[in-house]
Amino acid sequence: MEPLLLLAVLVLGFVVAFAIGGNDEAMAPAVGARIFSLNTAVILGGILSVVGALTLGGGVSEKVGSDLVSQQTMTPTMVFSVLVSMAIWLLIASISKGLPISTTQCIVGSVIGVAIAAPFLGVSGWGVEVVSWLIVLEIFAGWIISPIVGFFIAGGVFWLVRRIQSRVTGLAGRERQERIASYGLALFLIITSLSRGGNDVANAVAPLVTLPDFEAPISFGPFLLPGLVVPLFVGGLGMAVGLIVVGRKVIKVLATEVVSLTPTSALAASISVALVMFIGTYMGFPLSGTHVLVAALIAVGWVAQTPVQTNQVKDILISWVITVPISAIFGVALYAIINPFF
């Protein structure tokens, strides 16, 4: 690929990662439980996003990028259409209502839409048969199973915590428990943010992984690094900047508008998300941390018999259902507009 065009694609990947970071709600439990201030949460989350992208992002990026389209190499026009369509929908959801939509659903919808539409726009070698429907089924199964597992883990952990709390007498004892829980919460949120960085970066740079420009190793002083490091770093940096600049609204929605949190309830939710996301990311599965976190928050609210804001949950669920088809439509529309010019 021409150097100028390659730079433009990397800049576009950064913009998409910026939009993903702006929709990152991983630190919401700490803000809801008043462990971190909003500013501390976004700065710490941004740093961890970069580290997670570089250390854990490779496997998930390959599954969503090349594996999803049967190892086919997407053209620069396809990559451009996928990335722009994702950025549009993510920014609309983040800026308008602060809804925590699934970035994994965004990229899967966009890639499938563009791959299927390509033959109708005169591009041979693509179509329904190129999409690896086994991988699609695997990804969809992850979207369904992971929040269910997250719900039961969070509910079970919080039920156990409540049993322990019931044996503690006196205000001082309860305050000590909450303080201990706050330390544990910080630890598990670090694990969650690292996993989210590794999982979500794939949603920004997976189309870039299919480009041959990043297959060869690159020299960095005395070190020889995989070419994949370049898009992963660009994606991680973009997510960090997006979280710091525009991510506050989404964090506020999940921190205050779904269910009221204490350090112990936030810890139960965070343990669930950390376990599910770390295992899934390590195994290379593109899971939705948003799905898992919302399910975990609902579980702790149910165990605590705390009112759950059903209207807010309904809006979030609707946004999940429509994200795949909307992303596919945006991707196809953009591809149809720009393809004649290339």
Counting the structural domains of the chain, the total is 1
- pLDDT (0 to 100) of residue 1: 61
Confidence class for position 66, pLDDT limits 50, 70, 90: low
- pLDDT (0 to 100) of residue 149: 92
Higher per-residue pLDDT: 1 or 330? 330
Q: What is the mean pLDDT of the chain?
A: 80
pLDDT digits (tens, 9 = 90+) for 158-187: 898 888 877 877 777 778 888 888 888 888
Confidence class for position 117, pLDDT limits 50, 70, 90: very high
* Residue 319 identity: S
**Global model pTM greater than 0.85:** no
Measuring CA to CA, which residue among 68, 151, 132 is closest to residue 104?
Answer: 68
Higher per-residue pLDDT: 207 or 237? 237
Average pLDDT over residues 226-242: 85
Beta strand extents in the chain (DSSP E only): 218-220, 223-225
Residues 6+ apart with CB under 8 A from 175: none
Q: Which domain holds residue 191?
A: 3-341
Measuring CA to CA, which residue among 223, 195, 173, 205 is closest to residue 45?
Answer: 195
Which residue intervals of 247-341 are DSSP H helices?
A: 248-256, 263-282, 289-304, 310-338
- pLDDT (0 to 100) of residue 64: 60
Average pLDDT over residues 142-156: 90
Confidence class for position 329, pLDDT limits 50, 70, 90: very high
Average pLDDT over residues 236-265: 78
Measuring CA to CA, which residue among 138, 260, 273 is closest to residue 192?
Answer: 273
Q: Which has the minimum average pLDDT: 195-204, 250-259, 269-278?
A: 250-259
